[in-house]
C-alpha cells in the first residue's frame, strides 16, 4: 500500500468509528438490560447455580438483545419524521442524519437474522418466542402504540415473552405465575412512561400523548398503582405456594422481596407524580439511587433464597 493510500485510510478511520458508534447508539444498549428477564425463570426454579443453565440463559440474553436492537432500529425508521420535529428525539442518530435510512434498514435486517440464528441453537420453541416478540413489537410500531391501553398492554406482554423465552431456552417448566407477575409489573411501568410523557405537555388546549389526554392522568395513576400492587400480590401468592410445597426451603426470604417490590413501585409512582421521571422508567431506575439500593438488596436476598 502506498503512503498516500495509508494516509487516506488513517484519515477515514475516525469517520468510520463515528458511524459505527452512531449505529451502536441507535440500538440503545442501555435498554438491553431489560433482557435479563430471561434469567427470571432460572431464579424461580431455584437453579441459579447450575453453570450449563447459566450459559443457555446467556445465549438467550444475547439473542433477545439482538432482536430488541433490530426493533429499535425499525422503530426509528418508522418515526424518523416525527423524531426530527421532536425537541429531544431529533438528536437520535437516524433523525440527526448521523446514519442513513438505507443503512439502518440493512443493519436491522442483519440483527434480526443474527437473533434468529442464535435462537435456533436453543431450539424451535425459543426461536418461535423470539419471532412472536418481533411480530408483536412490529405491530406495536406500525400503529398499536397510538391506541390507549392497548399500547401499554402490548409492552407488558413483550416483557412477559422474555420470561417465557428464558424458560424455553433453558428447558425449564413454564410458570404462569411468573408470566402474570411480569404482565402486571410492566403494565404498571409502561403506564409510568405514558404518565411521564403527559407531564411534558404544554398547558392548555387539547394536547395529548398517543391518545392519552391530560385529564387521563388520574386514571393512569390508579391503573398503574393497581397493576403494580397486583404484581406484588402474585409474587406473595407464589411465595406462599412454594412454602406449602417445601416448608424447609429458603422460600420465606421471598417475603422480603415482596416488601422491597412494594416499596419500589410506590417510590416510582411518587417520582412520576412529582415530575422526576421524564421518559423510560427503567432508564430512570438505572440512575436513581433509591432504585439501585433496592435492586442490590433484591439481588442479595434472591441469591440467598435460591
Domain ranges in the chain are: 30-174, 175-198+212-306
What would you measure as the largest C-alpha separation in the chain, in angstroms?
A: 76
Q: Is 212 helix (H, G, I), strand (E, B) or coil?
A: strand
Cα–Cα–Cα angle for 188, 189, 190, nearest 5°? 90
C-alpha cell read off for 39: 434469567
Q: What are the pLDDT tens digits along the chain (306 aa)?
A: 555 544 444 444 466 788 888 888 888 888 888 899 899 888 877 787 888 899 999 999 999 999 999 999 999 898 888 778 777 778 888 888 888 888 889 999 999 999 999 999 999 999 999 999 999 999 998 888 888 899 999 989 998 899 999 999 998 887 788 888 988 999 999 999 888 887 766 665 555 566 788 788 889 999 999 999 999 999 888 888 766 555 445 667 778 989 999 999 999 999 999 888 887 888 889 889 999 999 999 888 888 776
CATH class held by domain 30-174 = mainly alpha
Residue 111 and residue 66 in contact, taking contact as beta carbons nearer than 8 Å: yes
- pLDDT, residue 57, reads 92
CA 22 – CA 14 distance, rounded (Å)? 12
Give the dihedral sign, CA 227/76/84/16.
positive
Q: How far is CA 288 from CA 147, 151, 277, 281, 284, in A?
A: 30, 26, 10, 10, 6
Q: How many C-alpha atoms does 295 have within 13 Å on its Cβ side?
A: 10
| 12 CB-near residues (< 8 Å, 6+ apart) | none
Q: What is the pLDDT of residue 82?
A: 79
Question: Are the beta carbons of 53 and 42 closer than 8 angstroms?
Answer: yes
The pLDDT assigned to 91 comes to 82
Q: Which residue has the cell 430512570?
A: 284
- The answer to whether the pTM exceeds 0.75 is yes
- Identify the sign of the CA torsion 186, 86, 78, 104: negative
Nearest-angstrom CA–CA distance, 233 and 38: 22
Amino acid at each position: 500500500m502506498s503512503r498516500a493510500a495509508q494516509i487516506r485510510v488513517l484519515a477515514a478511520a475516525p469517520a468510520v468509528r463515528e458511524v459505527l458508534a452512531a449505529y451502536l447508539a441507535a440500538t440503545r444498549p442501555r435498554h438491553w438490560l431489560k433482557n435479563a428477564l430471561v434469567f427470571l425463570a432460572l431464579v424461580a426454579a431455584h437453579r441459579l447455580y447450575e453453570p450449563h443453565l447459566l450459559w443457555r440463559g446467556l445465549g438467550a440474553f444475547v439473542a433477545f438483545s439482538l432482536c430488541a436492537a433490530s426493533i429499535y432500529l425499525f422503530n426509528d425508521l418508522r418515526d424518523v419524521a416525527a423524531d426530527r420535529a421532536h425537541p429531544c428525539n431529533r438528536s437520535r442518530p437516524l433523525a440527526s442524519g448521523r446514519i442513513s435510512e438505507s443503512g439502518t434498514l440493512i443493519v436491522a435486517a442483519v440483527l434480526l437474522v443474527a437473533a434468529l440464528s442464535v435462537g435456533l441453537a436453543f431450539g424451535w420453541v425459543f426461536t418461535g418466542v423470539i419471532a412472536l416478540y418481533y411480530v408483536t413489537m412490529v405491530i406495536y410500531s406500525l400503529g398499536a402504540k397510538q391506541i390507549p391501553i392497548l399500547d401499554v398492554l402490548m409492552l407488558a406482554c413483550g416483557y412477559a415473552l422474555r420470561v417465557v423465552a428464558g424458560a424455553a431456552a433453558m428447558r425449564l417448566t413454564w410458570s404462569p405465575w411468573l408470566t402474570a407477575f411480569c404482565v402486571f409489573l410492566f403494565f404498571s411501568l409502561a403506564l409510568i412512561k405514558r404518565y411521564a410523557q403527559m407531564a411534558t405537555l404544554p398547558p392548555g388546549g387539547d394536547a395529548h400523548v398517543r391518545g392519552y389526554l391530560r385529564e387521563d392522568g388520574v386514571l393512569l395513576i390508579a391503573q398503574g398503582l393497581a397493576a403494580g400492587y397486583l404484581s406484588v400480590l402474585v409474587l406473595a401468592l407464589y411465595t406462599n405456594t412454594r412454602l406449602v410445597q417445601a416448608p424447609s426451603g429458603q422460600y420465606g426470604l421471598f417475603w422480603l422481596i415482596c416488601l422491597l417490590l412494594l416499596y419500589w413501585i410506590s417510590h416510582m409512582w411518587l417520582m412520576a407524580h412529582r415530575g422526576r421521571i421524564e421518559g423510560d422508567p427503567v432508564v430512570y431506575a438505572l440512575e436513581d439511587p433509591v432504585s439501585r439500593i433496592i435492586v442490590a438488596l433484591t439481588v442479595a436476598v434472591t441469591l440467598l433464597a435460591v
